[in-house]
Chains A and B, each alone.
Chain A
Amino acid sequence: MTEFTPISAAVGGGLIGLSAAIGYLALGKVTGISGIFGRALNGDMGFGQWGLFFLIGLIGMPAVIHALAPSEHGFTAPAPVLVVLAGLLVGVGTRMGSGCTSGHGICGMARLSIRSVAATVIFVGSGVVMVAVLRHVFGVIA
């Protein structure tokens, strides 16, 4: 259970949207994390190695912010075995479905792609089902 934080969520969402907007406008690319990361794993960093530099910024920036402005930042994760199982599902699912929350949920929705709208509805739906099962069947959600 977490607090409702609409303002910080909207500010963060705006920054994510700005990243995606620059991706379209400057590079002509979809700013989809699973795509960028998955291609990098297969040795494809994109033209000018843009994927590599994107990942450096993505991984480094939260640590930079945290170092410059230390704050109480919530981090509550499930048990390790669930985290590993989740990682496997997310890895297979995002490659099979050609995208994740960023590529489909932000970039694809932004251009009203019917595939991305469908993907977003489906993964939010199956996510809701999973959390409901965790809560009501296994009782592991606080």
Chain B
Amino acid sequence: MIRLFALLMGALFGAGLYVAGMTDPAKVQSFLDITGHWDPSLIFVMGAGIPVAATGYWLMRSRGETLLHQPLLDLTASAIDRPLVMGSVLFGLGWGLGGFCPGPGLASLLLQPTTAGMFVLAMVVGMLGHDRLIKS
């Protein structure tokens, strides 16, 4: 049951990225291009996605348990610390540079194997490099 839910979640997420056009790096760069030919479409991705996600979060909280009887996640970290700020700066620079964030990079792997493959491979190196060298 867990695996079925997880597969469904992944499929919904992948479909959403594809339908929204976020699998096109130019679409993402155009959203960030507010000093040029701005395409505000991605505001509508967040504008629709956040309230739907919030409903799921609210239902989880009000039920007091999850449908699959997993423990409620403990999200108590609240400090805006240095790693959060530095990491977000670096992520944004990479996001603007390539037009990929992690989801669209993975979701494009089968359709654009060469370009998305290069991105994902470099992302793997960056992630493992961070986890092994910077924070171990």
Q: Known contacts being A63-B110, A78-B99, is A20 close to B56, with CB within 8 Å?
A: yes
Question: Which residues of A46-74 have CB atoms within 8 Å of chain B's CB atoms?
Answer: 47-66, 73-74
- B82 CB, nearest partner CB in chain A, Å: 9
Q: Known contacts being A76-B25, A91-B129, is A56 close to B88, with CB within 8 Å?
A: no
In chain A, what residue has the closest Cβ to B90? A93
Chain B neighbourhood of A96, CB < 8 A: 83, 86-87, 90, 130, 134-135
- B4 CB, nearest partner CB in chain A, Å: 8
Binding site secondary structure of chain A: helix
Most chain B beta-carbon neighbours within 10 Å: one of A87, A92, A105: A87
Choose from B19, B86, B106, B126 the contact partner of A88 (Cβ within 8 Å): B126
In chain B, what residue has the closest Cβ to A113? B75
24 example contacts (A-B, Cβ-Cβ < 8 A) are as follows A4-B39, A4-B40, A5-B21, A6-B44, A12-B17, A13-B20, A13-B48, A16-B13, A16-B45, A16-B49, A22-B5, A27-B70, A60-B14, A62-B18, A62-B108, A74-B26, A77-B99, A83-B115, A87-B100, A94-B91, A96-B130, A111-B57, A122-B85, A127-B93
Sample of 8 further A-B pairs with CB below 8 A, known A57-B10, A61-B11, A84-B118: A15-B15, A30-B75, A58-B13, A59-B110, A61-B12, A90-B102, A91-B129, A96-B83
**A55 CA to B120 CA in the complex, in Å?**
13
Binding site secondary structure of chain B: helix
| Chain B residues at the A interface, C-beta cutoff of 8 Å | 2-27, 29-30, 32-37, 39-57, 59-60, 63, 66-68, 70-73, 75, 77-80, 83-103, 105-112, 115, 118-131, 134-135
Tell whether, in the assembled complex, residue A29 and residue B106 are in contact, meaning their CB atoms are under 8 Å apart.
no
In chain A, what residue has the closest Cβ to B54? A110
Size category of the A interface is 35 or more
Question: Which residues of A95-128 have CB atoms within 8 Å of chain B's CB atoms?
Answer: 95-98, 100-102, 104-107, 109-111, 113-115, 118-120, 122-128
Q: Known contacts being A12-B19, A76-B26, is A18 close to B52, with CB within 8 Å?
A: yes
Tell whether, in the assembled complex, residue A123 and residue B89 are in contact, meaning their CB atoms are under 8 Å apart.
yes
